[in-house]
Amino acid sequence: MATKFKIYVIRPVRDTIVYGLLWSVITLSKFMPRKLLLAWHGFAARQLYLLMTKTRRVIERNLEFVFGPEKQDGEYKRFGQQVYASLAKTFTDYAILSKKKTREQFSKYFKINGEEHLQKAYNEGRGVICLVPHTHGWEFSAILPPILGYKTTGVSSPIKNKALDHMMVNLRESRGMRDVERIRCYDTLVDTLKSGECLIMMIDHDSKSIKGEFLQFLGHQAYTPIGCARLVIDTGAAVVPMYTVRDNETNTYTFEILPEVPFVTKSDTTDSIRYNTQIYNHIIESIIRKYPQQWVWMQERWKTTPEILKQYLEAKAAKRQVAEKS
């Protein structure tokens, strides 16, 4: 449980710094060459990684959990520095390109592969779930469908820093993506898909508050949100995976759109949800293994266990009972 000092001092200071850095990048991009700004932030991120003790432990523990012990001393430290540098450069570009809103403007920086898969599914009119993994360019993956001309809604959890949350929502919506808060939004998502729109969804994260199942992810059981498969059952929508990766040599990006994933109907709804969600996990795994240094290894992806989930649900039920009696 977070201490009061962390809640009332550390987090506000940290959030203010992040907000200020983002605005500074937007401002500096008007005066500094993009290449110089990216090099500076990449270097700074590598040094910052060495100071972020807790985050560094999480990243290196996750790497060992998935790939096994280091083959060379310092291998995972160097890997972590590359992860931080790539993430920093990608978010620097997200700020630099904040005023870009058209396909033509983005074509200078992005190569689009596989758009025919999205176009085909979209034209069928049954709605498209855009399955987006947390590669470092996930924010780009969320805004590119509307920039390409597809009506799009995204579902997201609010950022605790209200100013930063307001900024990010505005940046998404200014590119044509409607942002829906994750809290009690299922009916809204169903309506969105039934109207034939694209819906941005991400399932490669750990959250006890979202209904999920324990499924295989990168070789281990991970609590995985099942909303994507549920929505396919309830709406008949297509699932089209897509992701953004960075080329650090050229400072450009590729937005890759994969073919639609056929839905497999099993003996009952629960089996269908588990089976198809596992397929989605496998697809995301293949992307991560192809671009391992461009995934968010700093997240606690395997934190929730069956025991932790049970305790959480029991505490939640007890709290609800108290509220009903009062």
Average pLDDT of the segment spanning 249-277: 97
Dihedral class, residue 277 (left if φ above 0, else alpha if ψ from -120 to 50, else beta): alpha
pLDDT, residue 1, reads 46
Q: Are strands 110-113 and 128-131 parallel, antiparallel or unpaired?
A: unpaired
Q: Are strands 198-201 and 177-181 parallel, antiparallel or unpaired?
A: unpaired
What letter would DSSP give residue 294?
G
- pLDDT band with cut points at 50, 70 and 90 for residue 35: very high
- pLDDT band with cut points at 50, 70 and 90 for residue 22: low
pTM of the model: 0.91
Residue type, 43: F
pLDDT, residue 11, reads 65
Residue type, 264: V
Is residue 284 exposed (0-12), middle (13-18) or buried (19+ Cβ within 10 Å)?
A: buried
Burial 87-108 (b: 16+ CB within 10 A, else e): bbbbbbbbbbbbebeeeeebee
pLDDT over threshold 60, residue 2: no
Contact 42, 89 (CB under 8 A): yes
Three-class DSSP category at 221: strand
Q: What is the pLDDT of residues 131-141, one digit of tens each?
A: 999 999 999 99
Residue 116 is inside which H or E element, if any?
helix 115-123
Contact 37, 28 (CB under 8 A): yes
Average pLDDT of the segment spanning 269-284: 98
What letter would DSSP give residue 59?
H
Contact 206, 301 (CB under 8 A): yes
pLDDT, residue 170, reads 87
Angstrom CA distances, 246 to 85, 101, 261, stand at 11, 19, 24
CA–CA separation, 120 and 124 (whole Å) = 7
Q: What is the pLDDT of residues 157-170, one digit of tens each?
A: 887 777 778 888 88
- pLDDT band with cut points at 50, 70 and 90 for residue 4: low
